[in-house]
Amino acid sequence: MDIKKFILDMVFPIYCISCHQEGVWFCDKCFQKLIFKTEQTCPICKKIIVPNGEICFDCKYQNNIDGILVSSFYRKKKEKTMVAKLIHYYKYRFISSIGQILGKVLEKSILNSTLPLPEIIIPVPLHPRRLRWRGFNQSAILAHYLGENLTPGFSIPVYSDILARNRYTQPQMEIKDKQKRVINAQNAFSLNPKENSKIKGKTIFLVDDIATTGSTLFECARVLKEGGAKKVYGVVLARQ
CA distances, 195 to each of 76, 157, 192, 208 (Å): 41, 13, 5, 20
List the one residue from 9, 14, 16, 95 that touches Zn ion (CB under 5 A). 16
State the helix-helix crossing angle for 138-149 and 98-112, rounded to 10 degrees. 50
Q: Are β-strands 210-211 and 238-239 bridged in parallel, bridged antiparallel, or unpaired?
A: parallel
Which range of residues in 43-51, 145-153, 199-207, 225-233 is near Zn ion by CB under 5 A?
43-51
For residues 145 and 153, give the distance between their C-alpha atoms in angstroms, rounded to a whole number: 14
* DSSP state for residue 158 in the 8-state scheme: B
56 binds Zn ion per the rule CB under 5 A: yes
Between 47 and 180, whose beta carbon lies closer to Zn ion? 47
Binding mask 71-110 for Zn ion (x = CB under 5 A): ----------------------------------------
Between 98 and 143, whose beta carbon lies closer to Zn ion? 98
Between 101 and 206, whose beta carbon lies closer to Zn ion? 101
164 binds Zn ion per the rule CB under 5 A: no
For residues 39 and 73, give the distance between their C-alpha atoms in angstroms, rounded to a whole number: 11
18 binds Zn ion per the rule CB under 5 A: yes
**Least distance (Å) between residue 28 CB and Zn ion:** 8
Between 18 and 190, whose beta carbon lies closer to Zn ion? 18
Sign of CA dihedral 66, 71, 76, 79: negative
How far is C-alpha 218 from the geometric centre of its chain's CA atoms? 13
List the one residue from 25, 34, 44, 103 that touches Zn ion (CB under 5 A). 44
Query: Which of 162, 237, 160 has its CA nearest to residue 200?
Result: 162
What is the contact surface with Zn ion in residues (CB under 5 A)? 16, 18-19, 21, 27, 30, 42, 44-45, 56, 59
